Amino acid sequence: MHELRKDPLLGRWVAVLSDSKAPGEYSVPSEDIEELNCMLCSGREKETPPEITAIRREGTQPNTPGWWARVIPSFKPILQIEGDLGRRGVGMYDRMNSIGANEILIETPEHNKKPEDMGFEQMVRILTIYKNRIADLERDSRMRYIFIYKDSGKGAGAVYSHPHSQIVATPVIPKRVKEELDGTKQYYSYKERCIFCDMMREELRSGDRIIFETRNFVAFCPYAPTFPFEFWIMPKRHSCTFQDISRDEIDDLGLMLSSVIKNMRLILKEPPYNYVIHTAPNRIPRRNYWHTLGEDFHWHIEIIPRLARTSGLELGSGFYVLTTSPEDAAKYLREV
């Protein structure tokens, strides 16, 4: 079984795989994903693990063609659902079993058609599955965080060229998420307001970094982003959990996400990119621990085009250099 280990200096957890690679097994990756026979395509359902859930055409059966979007377990999961956490110490160090969930959401039955190119209805299907999977996984009291992300293109870490995203449930709160939670809590303790609501109001007031606005959502480049052309999508209604999204908001978000991703692909010439959904951690096992989470945290989506490689300065110090200002990035994306 794989295991999770905690870095005592930075407080972050890392996954250590049981089947360690030898030096000769590593190679410098090429830019293209070689995939001669894609098992994620429609018609090859029997070659994948049995589906967990799917949105299908009426009358079709599980693990057969006829689906719009389909969730399966990962082929090589880092985290596994069976077993107990087995928390233990090794000298000064902490470790536990690699318990959790690794799922792949296949976003379209067609290999060469991206979901946003199929219309916003397809994005609505994907967002609906996101909501349902988070709601289902958080019922497991071992799970502390459910993380949804998309890697598009090998430069963004994608393993498959077929459009897909990933759903990962972990027994720990990832360090990057915890830093965000701590920051929002500190701001709320000082001002008794949600920092994300304040950010959104300021962006709407100035307008310099706004990309797109709908009745329920706003897309904008953050004031101090990590990467050039990074932008966020945030609901206007304050809510800490993505799974509390309403049907009307899902329709609105499907339209916005489809539009802004197509604009980004057009202006940046089909870049590799990532997006991640930042939602509140699972409060079921520690309900009394989260006193102000419903007031201080605000779920959102962060979308990051991968336009430049990270340098030693950025990796070693966390001091990032932006080659395009967020004001100019928003202007370019807004004017597509």
Q: What pLDDT is stored for residue 319 in this prediction?
A: 86
Name the CATH code of domain 3-20+31-334 (choices 3.30.428.10, 3.40.50.20, 3.30.1330.120, 2.10.210.10).
3.30.428.10
Q: What pLDDT is stored for residue 25 in this prediction?
A: 73
Domain ranges of the chain: 3-20+31-334
Q: How far apart are CA 124 and CA 128, in angstroms?
A: 6
CA-based max dimension of the chain: 57
Query: What is the tens place of the pLDDT at every residue in 198-231?
Result: 999 999 999 999 999 999 999 999 999 988 999 9
Tokens matching residue 144:
């502390």
CB neighbour class for 37 (10 Å; exposed up to 12, middle 13-18, buried from 19): exposed
Tell me the helices (H) and strands (E) count for the chain, helix number first.
7, 14
Query: What is the tens place of the pLDDT at every residue in 100-122?
Result: 999 999 999 999 999 999 988 99
Q: Helix, strand, or coil here: 24?
A: helix
| Mean of all residue pLDDT scores within the chain | 90
- Higher-pLDDT residue of 79 and 320 is 79
Please report where in the chains the tokens 């502390």 appear, as a residue. 144
Task: Say if residues 80 and 15 touch (Cβ distance below 8 Å).
Answer: no
**Full-model pTM:** 0.90
